């Protein structure tokens, strides 16, 4: 059995985060070794070129004696139930403390933190808040689960006045204390149950974002996002008329407006991102930005120009009165539900949903009722097409096809003026694509080849 020297920190996981942890410990002058459960993890040779003197142990963790390590830092991609690690965690406090990359970040960070989590839309809100801070003249660093690893931000933007972080449940489950100035828990739906065991485990990991927070933004329409820990200042957002000083949407001058309590902020028509779900994202960012002291005028300017992120309810083109929307990031039922509920109410016509792929065992029943209200047809493809068809055909006509291209041809054949074709698969892409970006790129490329210029 390989023994970890007592003076060493042990990093588990040689992925993007593991390498960021290695760079951080090197800058801190902390000796470390690294372990990975894979026999030949990608990037191993390049890592050894950079760190020729660092010991790397590959293979099952049971072959590693962790008891003498100074500390164990687990990458978010490593399941805490991994054999060899879980036994250490269950050893009733014996041996070194187990932390994650965000704990190391919090120790080193000297500026306020704004953190966002949720099953869906966290990348959009993180990016939006970062843009609002920049528009306000703040030196801001944006990253975490999105883009640049948090630890690398410390050197990339050493004079940052604010860190805006997207945090996943995998990152939060090893974070005992965040101490953020403001946090947002946007929504919770079934996802990552293979990692967390059940919805309670998934929610508990997400709720760690509240630990030490001075201000929290939660979803008034989703009680699963509310704190389980003491937070002195909690505000809520909703896509309905708000209660008290909540953030919401209300009638003003005959139009729908984003409002803070009774105070109108801006017309929803002025928000460039389409759909009610994106109006909710705007409200969450406004609530966080207000706490951070960002000027309202600057935040409004960003909302007027920010069109959203690629593959997230992205309007690719409008042709012959039909809008083609790329929401390939909709890899779970909750994300697709949000997209349908966001796009459907603002259409003059009907919705044509393109869905399918690897459903990861999810329950598709929540899609039935919104499809009944808004959809003309659902076109399904991929590994779980038959299961999708069996569930949603009770509320809307369904056509099952082999792949995304065939789904798009079918949508083109049936779409009418005022309709929207929405790629929001409710499934992972790995049965037919390397990742959701490739699926979204295929959607965009097909429209380009069909002679349609992208918006």
Catalytic residue among 88, 120, 145, 206: 145
Length of the chain: 455
Domain with CATH 3.40.50.720 in the chain: 2-101
Closest CA to 161 of 183, 125, 133, 126: 133
Dihedral sign from CA coordinates of 204, 120, 367, 347: positive
Class of domain 314-449: alpha beta
**Tens of each residue's pLDDT in the chain, 455 residues:** 788 888 899 999 999 999 999 999 999 999 999 999 999 999 999 999 999 999 999 999 998 999 889 999 999 999 999 999 988 888 766 678 899 999 999 999 999 999 999 998 899 999 999 999 999 999 999 999 999 999 999 999 999 999 999 999 999 999 999 999 999 999 998 777 677 778 899 999 999 999 999 999 999 999 999 998 889 999 999 999 999 999 999 999 889 999 999 999 999 989 988 788 899 999 999 999 999 999 999 999 999 999 888 898 888 888 999 999 999 999 999 889 989 998 998 788 999 999 999 998 999 999 999 999 999 999 999 999 999 999 999 999 999 999 999 999 999 999 999 999 999 999 999 999 999 999 999 999 999 886 444 44
What is the pLDDT at residue 450?
Answer: 63
Is 329 an active-site residue? no
Strands 247-252 and 255-260: antiparallel
3-class state of residue 290 by DSSP: helix
Domain with CATH 3.90.190.20 in the chain: 314-449
C-alpha span between 324 and 451 (Å, rounded): 14
Enumerate the H helices of 16-158 as residue ranges.
16-28, 44-50, 86-89, 101-108, 122-135, 150-156
C-alpha span between 311 and 119 (Å, rounded): 16
Catalytic residue among 24, 88, 192, 206: 192
What is the pLDDT at residue 418?
Answer: 95
Is 448 an active-site residue? no
141: enclosing H helix or E strand: strand 140-144
Which DSSP letter does residue 5 get? Answer: P
Contacts of 245 (CB under 8 A, 6+ apart): 235, 260, 261
Strands 322-326 and 314-319: antiparallel
Closest CA to 137 of 302, 261, 14, 250: 302
Q: Which region holds residue 257: left if phi is over 0, alpha if psi is between -120 and 50, else beta?
A: beta
Closest CA to 385 of 357, 409, 407, 408: 357
Q: How far is CA 247 from the centre of its chain?
A: 22
β partners of residue 380 = 355, 400
Contacts of 449 (CB under 8 A, 6+ apart): none
Contacts of 56 (CB under 8 A, 6+ apart): 14, 33, 34, 35, 36, 44, 47, 48
113: enclosing H helix or E strand: strand 113-117
Is 122 an active-site residue? yes
Catalytic residue among 122, 277, 311, 329: 122
Domain with CATH 3.40.1190.10 in the chain: 109-305
2-101 belongs to which homologous superfamily?
Answer: NAD(P)-binding Rossmann-like Domain (3.40.50.720)
Domain covering 109-305, topology: 3.40.1190
β partners of residue 235 = 217
Contacts of 156 (CB under 8 A, 6+ apart): 141, 148
C-alpha span between 251 and 1 (Å, rounded): 68
């Amino acid at each position: 059995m390989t023994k970890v020297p007592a003076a060493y920190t042990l990093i588990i996981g040689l992925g993007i985060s593991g390498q960021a942890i290695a760079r951080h410990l090197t800058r801190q002058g902390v000796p470390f070794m690294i372990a990975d459960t894979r026999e030949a993890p990608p990037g191993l040779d390049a890592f050894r070129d950079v760190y020729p003197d660092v010991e790397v142990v590959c293979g099952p963790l049971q072959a590693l004696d962790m008891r003498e390590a100074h500390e164990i830092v687990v990458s978010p991609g490593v399941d805490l139930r991994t054999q060899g690690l879980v036994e250490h965690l269950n050893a009733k406090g014996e041996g070194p403390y187990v932390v994650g990359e965000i704990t190391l970040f919090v120790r080193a960070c000297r500026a306020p933190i704004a953190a966002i989590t949720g099953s869906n839309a966290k990348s959009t809100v993180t990016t939006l808040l970062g843009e609002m801070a920049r528009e306000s003249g703040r030196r801001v660093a944006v990253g975490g689960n999105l883009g640049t690893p948090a630890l690398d931000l410390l050197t990339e933007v050493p004079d940052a006045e604010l860190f805006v972080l997207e945090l996943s449940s995998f990152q939060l489950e090893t974070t005992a204390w965040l101490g953020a100035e403001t946090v947002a828990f946007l929504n919770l739906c079934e996802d990552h149950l293979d990692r967390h065991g059940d919805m309670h485990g998934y929610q508990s990991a997400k709720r760690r974002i509240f630990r030490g927070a001075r201000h929290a933004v939660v979803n008034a329409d989703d009680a699963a996002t509310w704190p389980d820990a003491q937070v002195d200042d909690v505000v809520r957002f909703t896509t309905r008329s708000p209660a008290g000083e909540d953030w919401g949407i209300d009638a003003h001058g005959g139009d729908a407006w984003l409002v803070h309590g009774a105070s109108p902020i801006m017309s929803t028509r002025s928000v460039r991102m389409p759909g009610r779900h994106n109006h909710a994202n705007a409200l969450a960012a406004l609530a966080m930005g207000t706490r951070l002291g960002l000027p309202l005028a600057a935040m409004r300017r960003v909302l007027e120009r920010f069109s959203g992120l690629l593959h997230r309810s992205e309007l690719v083109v409008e042709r012959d009165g039909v809008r083609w929307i790329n929401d390939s990031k909709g890899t779970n039922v909750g994300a697709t539900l949000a997209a349908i509920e966001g796009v459907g109410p603002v259409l003059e016509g009907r919705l044509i949903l393109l869905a399918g792929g690897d459903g990861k065992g999810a329950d598709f029943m929540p899609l039935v009722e919104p499809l009944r209200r808004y959809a003309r047809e659902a076109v399904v493809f991929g590994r779980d097409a038959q299961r999708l068809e069996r569930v949603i055909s009770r509320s809307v006509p369904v056509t099952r096809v082999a792949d995304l291209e065939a789904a798009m041809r079918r949508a083109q054949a049936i779409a009418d003026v005022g309709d929207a074709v929405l790629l929001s698969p409710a499934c992972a892409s790995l049965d037919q694509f390397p990742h959701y970006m490739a699926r979204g790129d295929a959607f965009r490329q097909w429209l380009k080849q069909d002679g349609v210029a992208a918006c």
